[in-house]
Structure 1
Protein backbone atom coordinates (compact mmCIF):
# COMPACT_ATOMS: atom_id res chain seq x y z
CA UNK A 1 0.00 0.00 0.00
CA UNK A 2 2.91 2.37 0.67
CA UNK A 3 3.84 2.26 -3.02
CA UNK A 4 0.36 3.26 -4.23
CA UNK A 5 0.99 7.01 -4.09
CA UNK A 6 -1.33 7.80 -7.03
CA UNK A 7 -4.17 5.86 -5.42
CA UNK A 8 -3.60 7.82 -2.20
CA UNK A 9 -3.66 11.09 -4.15
CA UNK A 10 -6.91 10.12 -5.90
CA UNK A 11 -8.61 9.33 -2.59
CA UNK A 12 -7.45 12.53 -0.90
CA UNK A 13 -8.42 14.71 -3.87
CA UNK A 14 -11.83 13.01 -4.08
CA UNK A 15 -12.44 13.69 -0.39
CA UNK A 16 -11.23 17.28 -0.76
CA UNK A 17 -13.62 17.94 -3.64
CA UNK A 18 -16.49 15.86 -2.28
CA UNK A 19 -16.30 15.57 1.52
CA UNK A 20 -18.62 13.01 3.07
CA UNK A 21 -19.83 15.50 5.69
CA UNK A 22 -19.52 19.26 5.93
CA UNK A 23 -16.51 20.47 7.84
CA UNK A 24 -16.85 22.07 11.26
CA UNK A 25 -17.64 25.76 11.82
CA UNK A 26 -14.79 28.25 11.27
CA UNK A 27 -12.48 29.05 14.18
CA UNK A 28 -10.03 31.91 14.63
CA UNK A 29 -6.62 31.48 16.26
CA UNK A 30 -6.20 33.73 19.31
CA UNK A 31 -2.40 33.50 19.25
CA UNK A 32 0.40 32.37 16.94
CA UNK A 33 0.60 28.57 16.93
CA UNK A 34 1.80 25.53 14.97
CA UNK A 35 -0.75 23.01 13.65
CA UNK A 36 0.47 19.90 11.85
CA UNK A 37 3.85 21.55 11.26
CA UNK A 38 2.31 24.72 9.77
CA UNK A 39 2.79 28.15 11.37
CA UNK A 40 -0.62 29.72 11.99
CA UNK A 41 -0.52 33.47 12.76
CA UNK A 42 -2.87 35.04 15.30
CA UNK A 43 -6.24 35.99 13.77
CA UNK A 44 -6.17 33.31 11.06
CA UNK A 45 -9.56 31.74 10.26
CA UNK A 46 -9.37 27.95 10.45
CA UNK A 47 -11.75 25.22 9.39
CA UNK A 48 -10.69 21.95 10.97
CA UNK A 49 -12.00 18.50 10.16
CA UNK A 50 -11.84 16.77 13.55
CA UNK A 51 -13.33 13.42 12.40
CA UNK A 52 -11.56 10.83 14.60
CA UNK A 53 -12.25 7.69 12.49
CA UNK A 54 -10.78 9.28 9.36
CA UNK A 55 -7.59 7.16 9.55
CA UNK A 56 -9.60 3.93 9.59
CA UNK A 57 -11.88 5.15 6.81
CA UNK A 58 -8.92 6.10 4.60
CA UNK A 59 -7.35 2.67 5.14
CA UNK A 60 -10.61 0.95 4.18
CA UNK A 61 -10.97 3.14 1.10
CA UNK A 62 -7.42 2.30 -0.01
CA UNK A 63 -8.01 -1.44 0.35
CA UNK A 64 -11.40 -1.35 -1.37
CA UNK A 65 -10.33 0.81 -4.29
CA UNK A 66 -7.05 -1.09 -4.79
CA UNK A 67 -8.92 -4.41 -4.81
CA UNK A 68 -11.51 -3.09 -7.26
CA UNK A 69 -8.87 -1.79 -9.66
CA UNK A 70 -6.80 -4.97 -9.39
CA UNK A 71 -9.64 -7.47 -9.80
CA UNK A 72 -11.97 -5.79 -12.31
CA UNK A 73 -12.00 -4.01 -15.65
CA UNK A 74 -14.08 -0.84 -15.27
CA UNK A 75 -15.88 1.08 -18.01
CA UNK A 76 -18.95 3.24 -18.44
CA UNK A 77 -22.02 1.70 -20.12
CA UNK A 78 -21.85 4.15 -23.03
CA UNK A 79 -18.03 4.09 -23.18
CA UNK A 80 -18.21 7.91 -23.09
CA UNK A 81 -16.24 10.13 -20.67
CA UNK A 82 -17.77 10.44 -17.20
CA UNK A 83 -19.95 13.53 -16.69
CA UNK A 84 -18.18 15.37 -13.86
CA UNK A 85 -20.69 18.25 -13.55
CA UNK A 86 -21.47 19.16 -9.96
CA UNK A 87 -24.38 20.42 -7.92
CA UNK A 88 -23.67 22.64 -4.96
CA UNK A 89 -25.20 22.50 -1.51
CA UNK A 90 -23.81 21.81 1.96
CA UNK A 91 -21.43 19.47 0.16
CA UNK A 92 -20.59 19.23 -3.55
CA UNK A 93 -22.08 16.21 -5.29
CA UNK A 94 -22.24 14.92 -8.85
CA UNK A 95 -25.30 15.97 -10.88
CA UNK A 96 -25.38 12.66 -12.73
CA UNK A 97 -24.84 9.37 -10.85
CA UNK A 98 -21.76 7.38 -11.82
CA UNK A 99 -22.61 4.21 -13.72
CA UNK A 100 -19.83 1.65 -14.10
CA UNK A 101 -19.71 -1.81 -15.63
CA UNK A 102 -17.41 -4.30 -13.89
CA UNK A 103 -15.90 -7.31 -15.65
CA UNK A 104 -13.59 -9.71 -13.79
CA UNK A 105 -9.96 -9.60 -14.89
CA UNK A 106 -9.43 -13.29 -14.05
CA UNK A 107 -11.25 -16.47 -15.07
CA UNK A 108 -14.00 -17.91 -12.81
CA UNK A 109 -11.74 -20.69 -11.48
CA UNK A 110 -9.22 -18.09 -10.22
CA UNK A 111 -11.98 -16.75 -7.94
CA UNK A 112 -12.80 -20.27 -6.71
CA UNK A 113 -16.11 -20.33 -8.61
CA UNK A 114 -15.29 -23.28 -10.86
CA UNK A 115 -15.46 -23.47 -14.68
Structure 2
Protein backbone atom coordinates (compact mmCIF):
# COMPACT_ATOMS: atom_id res chain seq x y z
CA UNK A 1 0.00 0.00 0.00
CA UNK A 2 2.87 2.40 0.74
CA UNK A 3 4.07 2.13 -2.84
CA UNK A 4 0.63 2.46 -4.40
CA UNK A 5 -0.44 5.95 -5.55
CA UNK A 6 -4.06 5.16 -4.69
CA UNK A 7 -3.23 5.11 -0.97
CA UNK A 8 -1.03 8.22 -0.77
CA UNK A 9 -2.13 10.71 1.84
CA UNK A 10 -3.81 8.12 4.05
CA UNK A 11 -2.75 7.58 7.63
CA UNK A 12 -0.89 4.32 8.10
CA UNK A 13 -0.39 2.42 11.35
CA UNK A 14 3.19 1.29 11.84
CA UNK A 15 2.46 -2.21 13.08
CA UNK A 16 4.85 -5.14 13.35
CA UNK A 17 4.18 -6.39 9.82
CA UNK A 18 4.79 -2.93 8.35
CA UNK A 19 8.15 -2.69 10.10
CA UNK A 20 9.20 -6.12 8.87
CA UNK A 21 8.34 -5.18 5.28
CA UNK A 22 10.26 -1.91 5.62
CA UNK A 23 13.28 -3.80 6.99
CA UNK A 24 13.08 -6.23 4.11
CA UNK A 25 13.00 -3.44 1.53
CA UNK A 26 15.79 -1.36 3.12
CA UNK A 27 18.32 -4.16 3.69
CA UNK A 28 21.65 -3.49 1.93
CA UNK A 29 23.18 -6.95 1.71
CA UNK A 30 21.63 -10.29 0.88
CA UNK A 31 22.81 -11.74 4.20
CA UNK A 32 20.80 -9.10 6.11
CA UNK A 33 17.70 -9.25 3.95
CA UNK A 34 14.47 -10.70 5.30
CA UNK A 35 12.50 -12.98 3.00
CA UNK A 36 8.75 -13.51 2.91
CA UNK A 37 9.41 -16.91 4.51
CA UNK A 38 11.21 -15.20 7.43
CA UNK A 39 8.35 -12.75 7.89
CA UNK A 40 5.75 -15.52 7.74
CA UNK A 41 7.66 -17.54 10.37
CA UNK A 42 7.90 -14.54 12.73
CA UNK A 43 4.18 -13.81 12.43
CA UNK A 44 3.34 -17.49 12.91
CA UNK A 45 5.40 -17.51 16.13
CA UNK A 46 3.50 -14.44 17.34
CA UNK A 47 0.09 -15.98 16.71
CA UNK A 48 0.99 -19.37 18.22
CA UNK A 49 2.59 -17.85 21.32
CA UNK A 50 -0.30 -15.43 21.74
CA UNK A 51 -3.16 -17.90 21.32
CA UNK A 52 -2.02 -21.31 22.57
CA UNK A 53 -0.80 -20.11 25.97
CA UNK A 54 -3.90 -17.94 26.51
CA UNK A 55 -6.31 -20.77 25.68
CA UNK A 56 -4.35 -23.17 27.90
CA UNK A 57 -4.51 -20.72 30.83
CA UNK A 58 -8.26 -20.12 30.44
CA UNK A 59 -9.04 -23.84 30.20
CA UNK A 60 -7.19 -24.52 33.47
CA UNK A 61 -8.97 -21.62 35.21
CA UNK A 62 -12.40 -22.89 34.16
CA UNK A 63 -11.44 -26.41 35.21
CA UNK A 64 -10.50 -25.25 38.70
CA UNK A 65 -13.67 -23.16 39.02
CA UNK A 66 -15.84 -26.11 38.04
CA UNK A 67 -13.99 -28.22 40.63
CA UNK A 68 -14.64 -25.53 43.25
CA UNK A 69 -18.24 -24.29 42.79
CA UNK A 70 -18.08 -22.11 45.92
CA UNK A 71 -15.16 -20.16 44.45
CA UNK A 72 -17.04 -19.85 41.15
CA UNK A 73 -20.08 -18.50 43.00
CA UNK A 74 -17.92 -15.94 44.84
CA UNK A 75 -16.40 -14.76 41.58
CA UNK A 76 -19.84 -14.40 39.98
CA UNK A 77 -21.14 -12.51 43.01
CA UNK A 78 -18.25 -10.04 42.79
CA UNK A 79 -18.82 -9.48 39.07
CA UNK A 80 -22.60 -9.19 39.44
CA UNK A 81 -22.25 -6.54 42.14
CA UNK A 82 -20.22 -4.37 39.77
CA UNK A 83 -21.65 -5.13 36.32
CA UNK A 84 -25.12 -6.54 36.96
CA UNK A 85 -27.09 -8.80 34.63
CA UNK A 86 -27.97 -6.42 31.80
CA UNK A 87 -24.69 -5.90 30.00
CA UNK A 88 -21.48 -7.67 29.13
CA UNK A 89 -18.09 -6.98 30.66
CA UNK A 90 -16.05 -4.17 29.13
CA UNK A 91 -12.28 -3.87 29.23
CA UNK A 92 -12.52 -0.86 31.55
CA UNK A 93 -14.13 -3.10 34.21
CA UNK A 94 -11.15 -5.42 34.59
CA UNK A 95 -9.35 -3.52 37.35
CA UNK A 96 -12.41 -3.80 39.64
CA UNK A 97 -12.43 -7.59 40.06
CA UNK A 98 -9.94 -8.24 42.85
CA UNK A 99 -11.08 -11.81 43.59
CA UNK A 100 -11.00 -12.72 39.91
CA UNK A 101 -7.39 -11.46 39.76
CA UNK A 102 -6.55 -13.75 42.70
CA UNK A 103 -8.13 -16.68 40.86
CA UNK A 104 -5.99 -16.01 37.78
CA UNK A 105 -2.82 -15.76 39.89
CA UNK A 106 -3.60 -19.00 41.68
CA UNK A 107 -4.21 -20.82 38.40
CA UNK A 108 -0.94 -19.46 36.98
CA UNK A 109 0.81 -20.76 40.10
CA UNK A 110 -0.57 -24.30 39.80
CA UNK A 111 -0.87 -24.50 36.01
CA UNK A 112 1.68 -22.26 34.25
CA UNK A 113 0.95 -22.47 30.50
CA UNK A 114 4.69 -22.91 29.86
CA UNK A 115 6.00 -25.17 32.67
CA UNK A 116 9.64 -24.58 31.70
CA UNK A 117 10.99 -21.12 30.93
CA UNK A 118 12.58 -20.29 27.59
CA UNK A 119 16.23 -21.48 27.46
CA UNK A 120 18.88 -19.26 28.98
CA UNK A 121 22.67 -19.49 28.99
CA UNK A 122 24.91 -18.96 32.01
CA UNK A 123 27.40 -16.18 31.23
CA UNK A 124 29.72 -17.25 34.07
CA UNK A 125 30.19 -20.07 36.56
CA UNK A 126 27.76 -19.83 39.45
CA UNK A 127 26.66 -21.99 42.38
CA UNK A 128 22.95 -22.30 43.18
CA UNK A 129 21.88 -24.28 46.25
CA UNK A 130 25.18 -26.15 46.22
CA UNK A 131 25.07 -27.05 42.51
CA UNK A 132 27.61 -25.68 40.04
CA UNK A 133 26.13 -24.13 36.90
CA UNK A 134 29.11 -23.90 34.51
CA UNK A 135 29.61 -21.02 32.14
CA UNK A 136 27.89 -21.66 28.80
CA UNK A 137 25.38 -24.14 30.25
CA UNK A 138 21.83 -24.01 28.92
CA UNK A 139 19.44 -23.37 31.79
CA UNK A 140 15.71 -24.17 31.88
CA UNK A 141 13.89 -22.83 34.95
CA UNK A 142 11.17 -25.17 36.24
CA UNK A 143 8.31 -22.69 36.72
CA UNK A 144 5.87 -25.52 37.52
CA UNK A 145 7.99 -26.74 40.44
CA UNK A 146 8.54 -23.24 41.84
CA UNK A 147 4.78 -22.69 41.98
CA UNK A 148 4.36 -25.83 44.09
CA UNK A 149 7.42 -25.44 46.31
CA UNK A 150 6.33 -25.78 49.98
CA UNK A 151 9.12 -23.41 51.02
CA UNK A 152 7.64 -20.62 48.90
CA UNK A 153 4.02 -21.70 49.42
CA UNK A 154 3.73 -23.29 52.89
CA UNK A 155 -0.09 -23.24 52.97
CA UNK A 156 -1.15 -26.40 51.08
CA UNK A 157 0.86 -25.70 47.90
CA UNK A 158 -1.01 -28.32 45.86
CA UNK A 159 -4.45 -26.90 46.69
CA UNK A 160 -6.33 -24.27 44.67
CA UNK A 161 -6.71 -21.37 47.13
CA UNK A 162 -7.14 -17.92 45.53
CA UNK A 163 -7.45 -16.36 48.99
CA UNK A 164 -3.70 -16.77 49.45
CA UNK A 165 -3.50 -13.60 47.31
CA UNK A 166 -6.36 -11.83 49.09
CA UNK A 167 -6.29 -8.81 51.43
CA UNK A 168 -3.92 -9.27 54.41
CA UNK A 169 -2.80 -12.66 53.05
CA UNK A 170 0.95 -13.48 53.04
CA UNK A 171 1.10 -13.24 49.23
CA UNK A 172 -1.26 -10.28 48.82
CA UNK A 173 1.29 -8.16 46.93
CA UNK A 174 2.79 -10.94 44.81
CA UNK A 175 2.29 -10.34 41.09
CA UNK A 176 3.04 -12.37 37.95
CA UNK A 177 5.17 -9.77 36.16
CA UNK A 178 8.59 -11.01 37.17
CA UNK A 179 8.95 -9.01 40.38
CA UNK A 180 8.37 -11.98 42.70
CA UNK A 181 10.46 -15.05 41.95
CA UNK A 182 7.99 -17.47 43.56
CA UNK A 183 5.46 -16.74 40.80
CA UNK A 184 6.97 -16.27 37.33
CA UNK A 185 4.61 -17.78 34.71
CA UNK A 186 5.90 -15.26 32.13
CA UNK A 187 9.54 -15.63 33.07
CA UNK A 188 11.69 -12.84 34.45
CA UNK A 189 14.44 -10.46 33.43
CA UNK A 190 15.41 -9.53 29.90
CA UNK A 191 13.88 -12.70 28.47
CA UNK A 192 10.49 -12.20 30.08
CA UNK A 193 7.56 -12.88 27.73
CA UNK A 194 7.25 -9.96 25.31
CA UNK A 195 3.49 -10.46 25.11
CA UNK A 196 2.92 -10.54 28.87
CA UNK A 197 0.68 -7.48 29.11
CA UNK A 198 -1.49 -8.52 26.17
CA UNK A 199 -1.66 -12.10 27.43
CA UNK A 200 -2.71 -11.01 30.93
CA UNK A 201 -5.38 -8.71 29.56
CA UNK A 202 -6.80 -11.40 27.28
CA UNK A 203 -6.83 -14.06 30.01
CA UNK A 204 -8.62 -11.73 32.42
CA UNK A 205 -11.10 -10.43 29.84
CA UNK A 206 -12.08 -13.82 28.42
CA UNK A 207 -12.23 -15.48 31.85
CA UNK A 208 -14.37 -12.80 33.47
CA UNK A 209 -16.70 -12.77 30.44
CA UNK A 210 -17.19 -16.54 30.59
CA UNK A 211 -17.70 -16.54 34.37
CA UNK A 212 -20.15 -13.63 34.23
CA UNK A 213 -22.15 -14.79 31.22
CA UNK A 214 -22.62 -18.47 32.07
CA UNK A 215 -23.03 -20.98 34.84
CA UNK A 216 -20.68 -23.90 34.30
CA UNK A 217 -21.25 -27.58 34.96
CA UNK A 218 -19.66 -30.76 33.73
CA UNK A 219 -21.12 -32.58 30.76
CA UNK A 220 -23.40 -35.50 31.66
CA UNK A 221 -21.47 -38.39 33.12
CA UNK A 222 -18.15 -36.54 32.91
CA UNK A 223 -15.60 -36.05 35.68
CA UNK A 224 -12.91 -33.44 36.16
CA UNK A 225 -9.63 -34.79 34.77
CA UNK A 226 -6.59 -32.90 36.11
CA UNK A 227 -3.93 -34.91 34.29
CA UNK A 228 -1.42 -32.75 32.44
CA UNK A 229 0.07 -33.35 29.01
CA UNK A 230 3.75 -32.89 28.23
CA UNK A 231 5.14 -30.37 25.76
CA UNK A 232 6.16 -26.75 25.41
CA UNK A 233 2.78 -25.73 26.78
CA UNK A 234 1.03 -27.61 29.58
CA UNK A 235 -2.38 -28.49 28.23
CA UNK A 236 -4.87 -30.77 29.90
CA UNK A 237 -4.34 -34.32 28.68
CA UNK A 238 -8.09 -34.60 28.15
CA UNK A 239 -9.80 -31.34 27.07
CA UNK A 240 -12.42 -29.89 29.39
CA UNK A 241 -15.99 -30.77 28.40
CA UNK A 242 -18.50 -28.50 30.16
CA UNK A 243 -22.01 -27.10 29.81
CA UNK A 244 -22.45 -23.34 29.57
CA UNK A 245 -25.83 -22.20 30.94
CA UNK A 246 -26.78 -18.55 30.22
CA UNK A 247 -27.34 -16.49 33.38
CA UNK A 248 -27.80 -12.93 32.07
CA UNK A 249 -30.79 -11.13 30.57
CA UNK A 250 -31.64 -12.70 27.18
CA UNK A 251 -31.11 -9.48 25.21
CA UNK A 252 -27.49 -9.31 26.37
CA UNK A 253 -26.55 -12.26 24.16
CA UNK A 254 -28.02 -10.75 20.98
Smaller-chain TM-score range? 0.5 to 0.7
1:98 maps to what in 2?
240
Q: Which has the larger radius of gyration?
A: 2
User: Structure 1 37/63 Cα, relative in aligned 2: closer, same or farther at 3 Å?
Assistant: closer
2:99 maps to what in 1?
6
1:81-103 per-residue CA deviation (whole Å, 9 max, x = no partner) reads 41111222333321211011112
1:43 maps to what in 2?
none
1:63 maps to what in 2?
205
1:36 equivalent among 175, 179, 194 = 179
1:43-75 per-residue CA deviation (whole Å, 9 max, x = no partner) reads xxxx64521111111112111111111111111
Cα shift at 1:21: 8.1
Gaps of 5+ in 1: 39-46
DSSP-derived class of the 1:85 partner: coil
Structural RMSD (CA): 3.1
User: Structure 1 26/9 Cα, relative in aligned 2: closer, same or farther at 3 Å?
Assistant: farther
DSSP-derived class of the 1:8 partner: helix
- What is the TM-score normalised by the length of structure 2? 0.33
Gaps of 5+ in 2: 1-93, 125-177, 182-186
Task: Determine which structure has the larger strand proportion and give its number.
Answer: 1
Q: What is the number of residues matched between the two proteins?
A: 100
- For 1:107 and 1:9, how far apart are their aligned partners in 2? 27
1:75 maps to what in 2?
217
- What is the TM-score normalised by the length of structure 1? 0.63
Cα shift at 1:14: 3.4
